[in-house]
């Protein structure tokens, strides 16, 4: 049972705790009754867990629990927080947090085979780490030579090939310069398939193009063919030499590739791009497992060529070696290194890389809101960036955390804004079954049905939101009806029935269609949409549905079923203790139907009940009709009394005039002896 003081303060309740030993670790499961936030600190001999804004029993039986990993779990209440102290034993090598279940927190304490001793990240960010670590560690795009592209002199081309072929070859080099490698391959293949003096040069250019396409084996073959035909060209085009060297290394011959690249660096030692070639040598060495040599080169470049592009590249590569081994305490210092590289570098690729790495660190260790802002900023600055695809996944994961935190804080407007501003990134949020309902709850709290209708209409068509589509369709219909947007309500309802013909909400949608048909005065449509209400055991979700169906049946002279349906309506109002302006008309319609089938007694009962229920608006109408019914039954005196009440007390001049006329007719009959005996009774 939840403590009264906890309820009064709106605290989350820690309802239960389970402790299970699993060989290399001990699992502690905390079960709460609502959304929660927490913090965890790992000390050498203790793990301290704080459940914020929570209340808990003392769970004293766990104080003495002991196994090979932990030696007791103590619970204490400190203000509005629950503090849990887990005593750690010497066998502890790590702590693992699992909080994918909404109201359940799992803490594993012990050793985890195959798990590196990397610092813990923010709980709930495990997907971000697992989805990104492999990409960052193994990201290995083609290396840019950073050597100016040297096109072939057109005069030299004209000496060996015809005019049209000159233009075509220049076009191929243009493709190569703009890194349209696939188009370049097509052009140079044309020259390689001809017996022409251009075959050697075309082979080198083909090798460069294939390298950019990451087709390293055919690239190496093309370079070797070029070297066989024209070995001197390598000294004329250092960029081709670089790509040739890297292709050799990538195909498993590091020694020869390194030898060629070192020779190129020596050849260009006096050039400004020589330091960048040193970086590229380090990149190649690192890729081939020569980590110590690579780091030495990076450090040398960073220290000796400060402010250069090569130094920034080297600094970034050195920072990359720390990215998975920092923790909460030192991640910001590494993040600042990436930010400095981003600010100081003029190279778009380095800036892209550094900006993403800084945002990535924030996404692992920072506050959810801050992390989300950082990754969104990266996407905004680099919509076509190197890491934009993985950034999208990170953003989706962070949105799930931010939404849960805002909802737990009862920041309903914040939940709504989050969804509106990130509507294309909500796929992870939809893995939470409660998300869409909580989003609608937020819209209701801030009274913005138009905004909700617009957002849900967009989301309902997204494939990743398909599981929540029925609910969204229902809300769209509800809001459209509320806003009197009948065409949209009807169109959405029809779409729902086509898409989800057997869904449990089908009746809900049919009731809306019945209401729409009623207001369109399509009474046959009302009957078609709502006749299922006569099935045994079926109950309308909206009480007004009985009214719409009853009125439609009365119009079609199906008085028996109209009576049955309208009676369910007024009985439902009475049982719920509700009033409705439609109640009087329901009783009047029932009375009129009974009168038409000859049930005068039943008609009078309906009119009298309606008179008591309807209030002043229909009072005169009920009195007049009851007078007519008495007249029909030759109860002349009772008829006159009812009409006289209208004349003396009525509020509607039309009914008063009609009542006065009815009385005058009766008096004329009396004076002429037509009904004297009846009036004197």
Beta bridge partners of residue 106, listed in sequence order: 29, 98
Q: What is the pLDDT of residue 101?
A: 56
Other beta carbons within 10 Å of 662: 21
Q: What is the DSSP letter of 3?
A: -
Give how far the C-alpha of residue 280 lies from the chain's centroid of Cα atoms, to the nearest Å: 41
**307 exposure class (CB count in 10 Å sphere: 0-12, 13-18, 19+):** exposed
List phi, psi (to 5°) of 519. Answer: -70, -20
Select from 237, 262, 236 the least CA-distant residue to 248.
Answer: 262
Whole-number Å distance between alpha carbons of 559 and 550? 9
Q: What is the pLDDT of residue 92?
A: 55
Q: What is the pLDDT of residue 528?
A: 95
Q: Are 606 and 636 in contact (CB under 8 A)?
A: no
Return the SS3 of 150.
coil
Give how far the C-alpha of residue 672 lies from the chain's centroid of Cα atoms, to the nearest Å: 84
How does strand 12-22 pair with strand 54-55? parallel
Beta bridge partners of residue 77, listed in sequence order: 82
Compute the Cα dihedral for 305, 309, 315, 317 and give only its sign: negative
Q: What is the pLDDT of residue 410?
A: 95
Q: Are 32 and 12 in contact (CB under 8 A)?
A: yes
Q: What DSSP line would sit under 579-596, residue for residue?
A: --TTHHHHHHHHHHHHHH
Strands (E), 104-169: 104-110
Q: What is the DSSP letter of 538?
A: -
Q: What is the DSSP letter of 675?
A: S
The count of C-alpha atoms lying within 13 angstroms of the C-alpha of 508, restricted to the half-sphere facing its C-beta, is 17
Whole-number Å distance between alpha carbons of 590 and 604? 10
The tokens describing 397, both together, are 């994961």
Q: What is the pLDDT of residue 165?
A: 92
Taking the whole predicted model, whether its pTM rises above 0.75 is answered as no
How does strand 46-52 pair with strand 12-22? unpaired
Whole-number Å distance between alpha carbons of 240 and 640? 114
List phi, psi (to 5°) of 396. Answer: -65, -40
Whole-number Å distance between alpha carbons of 179 and 239? 14
Whole-number Å distance between alpha carbons of 602 and 608? 10
- Mean pLDDT by groups of 10 residues along the chain of 681 residues: 48 90 85 81 81 90 90 91 88 65 80 58 86 76 81 90 91 95 96 90 96 95 95 92 93 91 87 87 87 91 92 94 84 94 92 96 95 97 93 96 96 97 97 96 95 95 92 91 90 91 90 93 95 93 95 95 95 90 93 93 93 85 92 89 90 90 85 54 38
């Amino acid at each position: 049972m939840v403590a009264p003081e906890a309820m009064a303060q709106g605290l989350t309740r820690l309802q239960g705790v389970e402790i299970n030993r699993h060989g290399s670790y001990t699992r502690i499961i905390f079960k709460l009754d609502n959304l929660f936030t927490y913090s965890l600190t790992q000390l050498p001999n203790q793990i301290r867990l704080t459940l914020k804004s929570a209340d808990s029993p003392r769970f004293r039986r766990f104080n003495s629990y002991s196994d090979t990993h932990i030696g007791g779990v103590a619970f204490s209440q400190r203000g509005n927080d629950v503090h849990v102290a887990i005593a750690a034993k010497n066998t502890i090598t790590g702590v693992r947090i699992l909080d994918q279940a909404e109201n359940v927190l799992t803490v594993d304490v012990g050793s985890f085979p195959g798990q590196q001793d990397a610092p813990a990240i923010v709980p709930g960010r495990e997907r971000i780490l697992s989805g990104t670590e492999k990409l960052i560690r193994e990201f290995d795009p083609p290396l840019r030579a950073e050597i100016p592209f040297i096109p072939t002199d057109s005069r030299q081309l004209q000496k060996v090939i015809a005019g049209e072929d000159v233009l075509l070859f220049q076009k191929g080099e243009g493709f190569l310069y703009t890194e349209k490698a696939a188009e370049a391959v097509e052009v140079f293949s044309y020259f390689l398939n001809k017996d022409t003096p251009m075959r050697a040069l075309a082979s080198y250019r083909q090798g460069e193009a294939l390298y950019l396409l990451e087709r390293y084996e055919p690239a190496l073959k093309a370079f070797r063919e070029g070297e066989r035909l024209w070995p001197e060209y390598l000294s004329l085009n250092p960029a081709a030499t670089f790509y040739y060297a890297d292709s050799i290394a990538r195909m498993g011959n590091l020694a020869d590739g390194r030898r060629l690249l070192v020779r190129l660096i020596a050849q260009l030692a006096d050039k400004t791009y020589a330091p960048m070639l040193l970086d590229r040598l380090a990149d190649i060495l690192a890729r081939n497992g020569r980590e110590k040599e690579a780091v030495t080169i990076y450090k040398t470049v960073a220290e000796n060529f400060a402010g250069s592009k090569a130094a920034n590249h080297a600094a970034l590569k050195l920072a990359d070696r720390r990215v998975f081994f920092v923790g909460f305490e030192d991640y910001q210092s590494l993040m600042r290194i990436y930010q400095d590289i981003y600010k100081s570098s003029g190279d778009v690729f380095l800036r892209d890389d550094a900006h993403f790495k800084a945002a990535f660190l924030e996404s692992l260790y920072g506050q959810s809101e801050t992390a989300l802002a950082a990754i969104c900023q990266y996407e905004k600055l680099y919509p076509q960036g190197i890491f934009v695809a993985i950034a999208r996944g990170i953003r989706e994961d962070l949105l799930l955390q931010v939404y849960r935190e805002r909802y737990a804080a009862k920041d309903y407007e914040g939940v709504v804004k989050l969804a509106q501003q990130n509507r294309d990134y909500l796929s992870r949020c939809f893995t939470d079954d409660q998300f869409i309902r909580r989003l609608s709850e937020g819209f209701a709290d801030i009274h913005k049905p138009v905004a909700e209708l617009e957002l849900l209409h967009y989301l309902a068509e997204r494939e990743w939101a398909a599981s929540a589509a029925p609910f969204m369709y229902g809300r769209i219909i509800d809001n459209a009806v509320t806003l009197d947007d009948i065409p949209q309500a009807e169109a959405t309802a029809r779409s729902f029935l086509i898409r989800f013909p057997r869904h449990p909400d089908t009746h809900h949608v049919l009731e809306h269609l019945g209401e729409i048909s009623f207001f369109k005065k399509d009474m046959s449509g009302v009957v078609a949409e709502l006749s299922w209400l006569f099935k045994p055991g079926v109950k309308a979700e909206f009480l007004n549905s009985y009214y719409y169906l009853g009125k439609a049946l009365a119009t079609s002279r199906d008085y028996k079923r109209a009576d049955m349906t309208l009676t369910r309506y007024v009985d439902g109002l009475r049982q719920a203790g509700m009033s409705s302006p439609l109640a009087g008309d329901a009783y009047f319609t029932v009375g009129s139907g009974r009168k038409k089938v000859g049930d005068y007694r039943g008609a009078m009962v309906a009119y009298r009940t309606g008179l008591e229920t309807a209030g002043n608006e229909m009072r005169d109408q009920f009195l007049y009709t009851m007078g007519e019914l008495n007249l029909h039954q030759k109860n002349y005196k009772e008829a006159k009394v009812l009409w006289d009440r209208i004349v003396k007390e009525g509020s509607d001049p039309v009914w008063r005039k009609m009542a006065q006329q009815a009385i005058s007719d009766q008096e004329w009959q009396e004076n002429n002896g037509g009904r004297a005996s009846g009036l004197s009774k």
